[in-house]
Structures are given as structure tokens and as C-alpha cells.
């Protein structure tokens, strides 16, 4: 199974889910947007952009946005969401990207790097298309969370399988690897690690999803990295 094809199956149902789900809307996005800081006037690549929720937010904050996704369904949804305000292409994370070197001030890759079969190639391409001094901000599943759920050795690199309730029960596959492996893929590509954040849930989750708020204040399920091209 192609690791991106489940997003074609989920389609617009994933878009509705991600718009207000506890993990997307009240955990990942608030943390990532805080780490991104001011994007006004910056040329930003939204890598594996999904239905364009981040692209829309970045545009609202004054960024010039280009996005891509491997899923044709997600590309269509993102184009519909942002219209002619941003260019959205189809491309695959972990393969050569269709932009020249030093094209972007900032790259955002939210909750997608674990779907790339070749994470090192993905980091190398991010490094290539970033301008010197530019930053990459990415979020992903916390490796200890997946290890606790799945068992085995924490240090193994394993292709895992989950079933999401979105789309009536969709099988999703992703790579689990130790934090040292993920960070090495980034630093070996030339990045410096500026920040590593194990986010707490946003206050908006307290009333909307109190059970998630309580649990995520005791254990991290995601992590956020800010990396710089020196």
C-alpha cells in the first residue's frame, strides 16, 4: 500500500476532521504556529500540505505560500481552499522536489515526515530548496508514544499500521524510528537543531476535549523541531 493513498480514501472527511480534531486543531497547529513565529513577507513551502489548513493560516499571516502533497485528493482540497492565493502542486515527500535551490525562506512539514519512505532524502531536499539561514519547522508523532503503544525495541525502525476512524475506518501506515535516528537524518543533511518542543495542548482543548487535555498534559504524543540551514 502506498503510504499516501489513505488520504485519497479519506478525502474531504479528513479535511472536516482536521479542522477541529483535538490532535490537529488544538495540539499540533497551535504548537507549530508558535514555533514558526512571524512569517510575514516570507516565501514558505508547505510540504505535504494536506487539505491546505496550514497554507490558509500562513496566507492570513502575510506569507507567500507554495504547497505540495502526494495525494491528488489533498491537492484538490488545498487548491479549493486557497484559490489563486497560493500555488499547490503534486509532489512526493522524500523524492526530488520541482523547485530550484535556495527558493524558500521557510519550509513547514506538519505531521508528514513519518509517511516518507526516505526521510534522509526528504531532509536533503528541504535543505536544498531553503535559502542559507532559512528554517525548517516540522512536527511528527512522538517516538515514545508509538513505542509504548506498539511494543518491541524503541531503537527499531519499523513500518507500523494503524486504523483511523476517519473515512469509516482507514488503514494508515507510517514509519516509527527513535528520536536519534530522526535527528541524525536532519543534521546529516546539514541542518542545525534550534528547538525541540514536546508540546502541551492548547487551552482551547480544555473545554472542547477535556479528556485529551488531561492526558496530553501528562505525556507528549507529538514533537516539533525547528531546524536551521547554517
pLDDT at 227: 98
Q: Which residue has the cell 508547505?
A: 46
Predicted confidence (pLDDT) per residue in 77-133, tens digit: 999 999 999 999 999 999 999 999 999 999 999 999 999 999 999 999 999 999 999
Superfamily per CATH, domain 5-142+178-229: Vaccinia Virus protein VP39 (3.40.50.150)
Q: Which residues contact 140 (CB under 8 A, 6 or more apart)?
A: 111, 112, 113, 114, 182, 222, 223, 225
DSSP 8-state code for residue 100: -
- pTM here is 0.96
Predicted confidence (pLDDT) per residue in 129-145, tens digit: 999 999 999 999 999 99
Asked if the model's pLDDT at residue 181 lies above 70, the reply is yes
Nearest CA to 46 among 2, 106, 97, 130? 106
DSSP E strand boundaries for the chain: 43-47, 64-69, 87-90, 104-110, 130-141, 158-164, 170-176, 191-197, 222-229
- Domain residues of the chain, as ranges? 5-142+178-229
pLDDT at 2: 84
Query: Do 56 and 79 touch, CB atoms closer than 8 A?
Result: no
Amino acid at each position: 500500500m502506498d503510504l499516501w493513498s489513505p488520504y485519497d480514501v479519506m478525502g474531504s472527511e479528513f479535511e472536516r476532521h482536521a479542522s477541529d480534531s483535538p490532535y490537529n486543531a488544538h495540539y499540533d497547529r497551535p504548537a507549530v504556529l508558535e514555533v514558526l513565529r512571524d512569517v510575514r513577507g516570507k516565501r514558505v513551502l508547505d510540504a505535504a500540505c494536506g487539505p491546505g489548513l496550514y497554507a490558509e493560516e500562513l496566507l492570513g499571516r502575510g506569507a507567500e505560500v507554495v504547497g505540495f502533497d502526494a495525494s491528488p485528493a489533498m491537492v484538490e482540497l488545498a487548491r479549493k481552499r486557497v484559490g489563486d492565493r497560493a500555488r499547490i502542486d503534486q509532489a512526493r515527500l522524500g523524492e526530488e522536489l520541482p523547485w530550484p535551490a535556495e527558493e524558500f525562506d521557510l519550509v513547514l512539514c506538519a505531521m508528514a515526515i513519518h509517511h516518507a519512505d526516505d526521510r534522509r532524502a526528504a531532509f536533503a531536499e528541504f535543505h536544498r530548496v531553503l535559502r542559507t539561514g532559512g528554517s525548517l519547522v516540522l512536527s511528527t508523532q512522538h517516538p515514545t508514544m508509538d513505542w509504548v503503544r506498539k511494543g518491541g525495541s524503541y531503537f527499531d525502525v519499523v513500518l507500523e499500521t494503524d486504523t483511523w476512524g476517519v473515512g469509516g475506518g482507514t488503514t494508515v501506515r507510517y514509519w516509527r524510528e527513535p528520536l536519534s535516528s530522526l535527528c541524525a537524518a536532519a543534521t546529516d543533511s546539514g541542518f542545525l537543531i534550534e528547538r525541540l518542543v514536546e508540546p502541551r495542548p492548547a487551552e482551547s482543548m480544555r473545554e472542547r476535549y477535556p479528556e485529551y487535555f488531561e492526558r496530553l498534559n501528562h505525556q507528549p504524543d507529538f514533537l516539533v523541531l525547528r531546524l536551521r540551514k547554517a
